[in-house]
Amino acid sequence: MVDVSAKAVTRRVAVARGEVRMQAETLRRIQRGQVAKGEVLAVARVAGIMAAKRTPELIPLCHPLLIQVAAVSAAALTIYDMCKAIDRAMIIGNIRLIEKRGGSSGVFRRKEARRGKALQRITTDQADSTD
């Protein structure tokens, strides 16, 4: 583990993204609020926030900063969990850091090719700023 206690306090911003691929009917049921377990996207957002706050407890040897890739993973897993009774073939993937600013390593921006909208994909974005 790296000792970060001597690091200066800086404003940090991170954006991460992940995808949950599913059947079109599953997406329609999410959008219409017709999933038995409740409002899927609202619950997934809460799961992402909770995971970001607990990142150092969830990822071994992680220093106590919020990490959004863990948050996106938790949000995506929540979507899967809430919809698995409808669609067990969902695929979680393409989880990645999009942008990071602050800290000693400066700025990182991923260059991504724009893809057309897929009706069968929900993209979970998590953004966080930490002072």
3-state SS track over 108-120 = EECCCCCCCCCCC
Return d(Cα 68, Cα 127) in angstroms, integer: 7
Catalytic residue annotation: 81
Render pLDDT for 31-56 as a digit per residue (tens, 0 to 9). 999 999 999 999 999 999 999 889 88
pTM: 0.77
Question: Is there a contact between 22 and 120 (Cβ–Cβ < 8 Å)?
Answer: yes
Reply yes or no on whether the pLDDT at 14 is more than 70: yes
Render pLDDT for 57-94 as a digit per residue (tens, 0 to 9).
888 887 777 677 889 999 999 999 999 999 999 999 99
Average pLDDT taken over every residue of the chain: 83
Task: Locate the domains of the chain by residue range.
Answer: 12-110+119-130
Mean pLDDT on 11-24:
90
Superfamily of structural domain 12-110+119-130? Molybdopterin cofactor biosynthesis C (MoaC) domain (3.30.70.640)
